Amino acid sequence: PDLEALKKEAAIRAVALVGSGMRVGLGTGSTAKYAIEEIGRRLAAGELSGVTGVATSEASDALARQVGIPVEALDPRPLDIAIDGADEIDPALNLIKGLGGALLREKLTEVQARQLVIIADHTKLVTRIGEKAPLPIEIALFGFLSTIERLRAVLPAGRLRQNGAQPYVTDNGNLIFDAQIPEGHDIHALERQLKGTLGVIDTGLFLGMAQVAFVAAPDGVQELRP
Ligand code: DER
């Protein structure tokens, strides 16, 4: 089966964990899209009822409404479950996220979920975080050139994400610096160092947040736990 079919298979496995009456964190990206569509399908078919969603991006908010999922703003109440994609997944289920630009709302939402369920295809599996994907870092617009200089002192191989000729702007009005994580970095120490860097709002390191990942490979969907 092709990659899209595999991603959809993983999404359907995750949505099987959604029960009626649940408050669900709705992820962002091409894999999470299948999960949002599947929740909508199950609601329309009467297989689920009373589900409300909290979207992690404007795009996912619009898609949720389009498929008939009632959406609410994030408030301090815990979410029963959140379903989202990832750019990298290591054996401890540490993640890189944010290539879709939604890392801040994703982390703010998913930290409140009783269960964070990751869905992906096998190309996202890594042995070391930083092996395949750059780390997205959300930075304030104001003084961003100074912030980039501070970041380059920590991660020299990085660049401001562009949207054509303009800098990419997130749903929150911030910018993103994408940086390679060279071998030898302790990712927990790196997260602390980046979060302590003036002008940095958050990073795409989601460490120890996910409980389970459904990873689709040509021979089937694997259920990975840390
Ligand atoms: O930007 C994000 O965090 C997305 O969830 C990303 O990590 C996965 O996007 P994909 O499912 O389109 O690969």
Complex confidence, ipTM: 0.97
Residue type, 15: V
28 lines ligand 1 (CB under 6 A): yes
Q: Which helix (H) or strand (E) holds 42?
A: helix 30-44
pLDDT at 1: 66
87 lines ligand 1 (CB under 6 A): yes
For ligand 1, atom 7, name the residue with the nearest CA.
86
Strand partners, 216: 121, 221
Put simply, whether the predicted model's pTM sits higher than 0.90 gets the answer yes
106 lines ligand 1 (CB under 6 A): yes
pLDDT for 15-62, tens place per residue?
Answer: 999 999 999 999 999 999 999 999 999 999 999 999 999 999 999 999
27 lines ligand 1 (CB under 6 A): yes
CA of 87 to the centre of ligand 1 (A): 6
The dihedral through the CA atoms of 201, 194, 133, 143 has a sign that is positive
Contact 23, 54 (CB under 8 A): yes
97 is in an annotated binding site: yes
Tell me whether residue 138 is one of the annotated catalytic residues.
no
- Given the residues 38, 88, 106, 110, the one annotated as active site: 106
**Half-sphere exposure at residue 49, Cβ-oriented, CA atoms within 13 angstroms:** 1
pLDDT for 126-155, tens place per residue?
Answer: 999 999 999 999 999 999 999 999 999 999
- How far apart CA 33 and CA 94 sit, in angstroms, is 21
pLDDT for 119-131, tens place per residue?
Answer: 999 999 999 999 9
